[in-house]
Amino acid sequence: MIAAESTAGQLAPTSVVILGAAGDLTRRKLLPALYNLFRDELLPEPFSVVGFARRDMDDDGFRELTKESLNEYSRREVDPEHWDQFLGNVHYVGGTFDDPEAFVALATRLKALETGKGMPANRVFYLSIPPSAIQTCVEGLAAAGLVSPVEEGQPFTRIIIEKPIGHDLESARAINDKVAEVFAEEQVFRIDHYLGKETVQSIMVARFGNSIFEPLWNQKYIDHVQITVSETEGVGTRGGYYEEAGALRDMVQNHILQLLCLTAMEPPWTLSSEVVRDHKMEVLNCLRPIGPAEVAQRVVRAQYGAGRAGATEVPGYRREDRVAPDSTTETYVAIKAHVDNWRWAGVPFFIRTGKRLPVRASEIAIQFKSVPPVLFNAGEAHLKPNVLAMRIQPDEGMSLGIATKAPGLRLAITPVDLDFHYGQAFAEESPEAYERLLLDVVAGDATLFMRRDAVEASWQWVSGILDGWAGSGDRWLPEYAAGGWGPVEGERLIASTERSWREL
């Protein structure tokens, strides 16, 4: 996680090659991120952005696609002066992933660009491709001589792999094995865009940079933790993908478990990437397994039914395009998890995520234990416990709920929030998550990226739930109305512990 004040002068000139350059991720996120890094003078000079895809177009065609992408998705308007400068560094090579000659052509083009610009052969390959194509692309890169070994003082080669990495533990290991045949682990950057968000990066700062929190960050003072990732949209045009994934694979195995690790990890003794990732790995090792026999008591899954999204009537999940009418793929999952170590013994971590929920929001909420039932919390008072809420999206920031006396002659206690909003506190606009993460890859900083052992440990934990579902024989899932907060079973899961979900 490189420092915010880093400048391009500290980084080596690099070629960023996007495999799958005509896809949605490239247009919506990657090209705007690279342009905004260039606008902020954070990309090292000289540099190249090289698109590689099967679409038949040349440099001019890819530049036009890039301009359309920036006009539609960049967080800042395209500046003509910066655009012309950026444009000269955007190039394209056409070819299919299963054609070895296409990778040879890519290697030839890269060498020509690097020679012409006087650049070293530093290369970052971004695999913006389906998981099924990862192994083929890795083989193609290796066969074309595009992967350099890790050697001190020599040009670097790095590869970025998008989630999902595999469909289960076995497939994740197969992908990791294939990647490891060609790339050293320090060359591999498994990206999770959630970890590039400002609030996620601030979790460690909030914990370890403020003396008021860390002494209380344990089972003596914390009652429970809630991690919520709610989405208002349905599956849309991604029904085919979602049928293979579901909420557990799509959100919990990667995004949410990474948030849990940052929340629960022990203080690292340095911010070096390996130390931070070691401490996150310890949390995964301490997650209490959920075996097939325990799934019914600790996990809830459901699907959204017909309902309303705002003022619009929307269909249920099984009526969406490319979704089987008898599908048992979950669009909502809630889990009661435990981290079995000294710090968190007895503290439940409640996880929930779902589509077609009332609001789009991601939040980590730390609920502290109630004050003793005396003084202001005696009798019928029932003071609300203190809650530290870290909002990840869309309104990045955090709030701390406290009790205070309401104005007046009578003693009346009322809850209030001490509220911090990034957008209000800082005049500078926050960079997009992909801007931070791409810059970290160029800098060689792997702090915010998943290591192989963490990916496989996450799948190992999720596998118990998947096995329980596979053996359940369920032919239908509970439904919740689109626009609601999920099924009644999700409410019962947390209510069984005499707690309740937070209102977002």
Nearest CA among 20, 19, 32, 116 for reference residue 69: 32
Q: 282 with 266: CB under 8 angstroms?
A: yes
Phi then psi dihedrals of residue 384, to 5 deg: -70, 140
| Helix (H), strand (E), coil (C) string for 399-417 | EEEEEEECCCCCCCEEEEE
What is the SS3 assignment for 430?
coil
Residue type, 379: G
Collect all residues with Cβ–Cβ distance below 8 Å to 185 and sequence separation of at least 6. Answer: 451, 452
Give the gyration radius of the chain's Cα atoms: 24
Q: 197 with 431: CB under 8 angstroms?
A: no
Calculate helix-pair angle for 452-470, 169-182, nearest 10 degrees.
160
Catalytic residue among 91, 255, 279, 382: 255
As a dihedral over the C-alpha atoms of residue 169, residue 173, residue 176, residue 178, rounded to 10 degrees, the angle is -140
Q: 123 with 145: CB under 8 angstroms?
A: no
Residue 19 Cα to chain centre, angstroms: 20
Can you spell out the DSSP letters for 110-140? HHHHHHHHT----EEEEE-S-GGGHHHHHHH
Copy the structure tokens of residue 292.
């097939």
Active-site residue 255, yes or no? yes
Alpha helices in 157-255 (DSSP H): 169-182, 198-208, 239-247
Catalytic residue numbers read: 255
